[in-house]
Chain A
Amino acid sequence: MKIKRFAQISSEIPVASMSDIAFLLIVFFMIVAVFSIEAGFSLKLPAKDKPPLEVSDQRIIELRISRDNSLTLNGKSVSPEELGAHLSQPGFRNRQFVSIKAHAKSRYKTAVLVIEQFKRNGFEKISLKKLKP
């Protein structure tokens, strides 16, 4: 009778695909790192002991946010959708300073949407102030 020979079992761990796994992990981490980029607005906070800047009224755009989140631009009522169109008018272009006065109970979302509209229209000097309830 012919006895079959057993195949010899290799005791080595195959490491040929190690570099492939490592490169796949690198690609994964590179993609995940991109996700940590957030969107937002950077604000420069005023210095603690700095006196307030005096600016003439002709150079200021005043926007008020009322308790019910309605907007008033230089005394005239505007809707959030119309705000961008108003700001692109020539009368506003030569005004450099924006003063946003929000009611204490108004929503933060409204203030952010307003800041976004001003930033989109090229206004960079924006001040935020809370109106007393």
Chain B
Amino acid sequence: MKLKNSYRIVSIIPVASMSDIAFLLLIFMLLSSLLTPQPPLQVAPPQVPNTAEVKEEKGTRIYLDASGHIAVNEELGRLEDIAALLARLSVPKDQIYLYADAECAFEKIDEVLAALKAQAFEKATLICRETPKGKKRD
């Protein structure tokens, strides 16, 4: 009687598609991650010792410097133009992140908040910088 040859089981894990998987993961990370854009205005938000971490989601960024220049996302203007700049937003009632300079007069912040309220925005986040550990606040 002729005995059949048993198949030899190969003990190698196929890794040929590893780079494809890695590149797919890379593309997913690139698409899903939020890259911080270059700010259109140079502002130094106030330093505070303890702040809650704010996970930035896609939203509208408002930059306000001490001299009254404002930028809504990429659009530059003066503080007086804020209502028009907000009205031009493509996603109207978005989350707002306010990057205001620490040296701004409070009336400018109040003006921004009043404009947001007038256009029925519900939430705004005042962005701050956390004081480095072991350093006294200025």
Contact B106 A39 (CB under 8 A): no
Q: Other than A36-B36, A39-B48, A41-B52, give 15 A-B pairs with Cβ distance below 8 A.
A: A22-B26, A29-B33, A36-B56, A37-B53, A37-B56, A38-B54, A43-B124, A45-B113, A107-B105, A108-B104, A108-B105, A108-B109, A111-B109, A129-B110, A133-B107
Chain B binder among A4-12, A54-62, A88-96, A97-105 = A97-105
Contact A109 B102 (CB under 8 A): yes
Given A39-B53, A41-B128, answer yes or no on A106-B105 (Cβ-Cβ < 8 Å).
yes
Contact A113 B137 (CB under 8 A): yes
What is the interface of chain B mostly: helix, strand, loop, or mixed?
mixed
Indicate whether A120 reaches chain B with its CB closer than 8 angstroms: yes
B 96-138 to A, binary, CB cutoff 8 A, 1 in contact else 0: 0100111111111110010011101111111111100000010
Q: Size of chain B's interface in residues, with CB distance under 8 A?
A: 53
B residues within 8 A CB of A51? Answer: none
Residue among A19, A30, A32 with max Cβ neighbours from chain B (10 Å)? A19
Which of A37, A45, A102, A108 makes the CB contact (< 8 A) with B54? A37
In whole angstroms, what is the CA distance A41 to B125 when docked? 5
CB-nearest residue of chain A relative to B64? A108
Indicate whether A78 reaches chain B with its CB closer than 8 angstroms: no
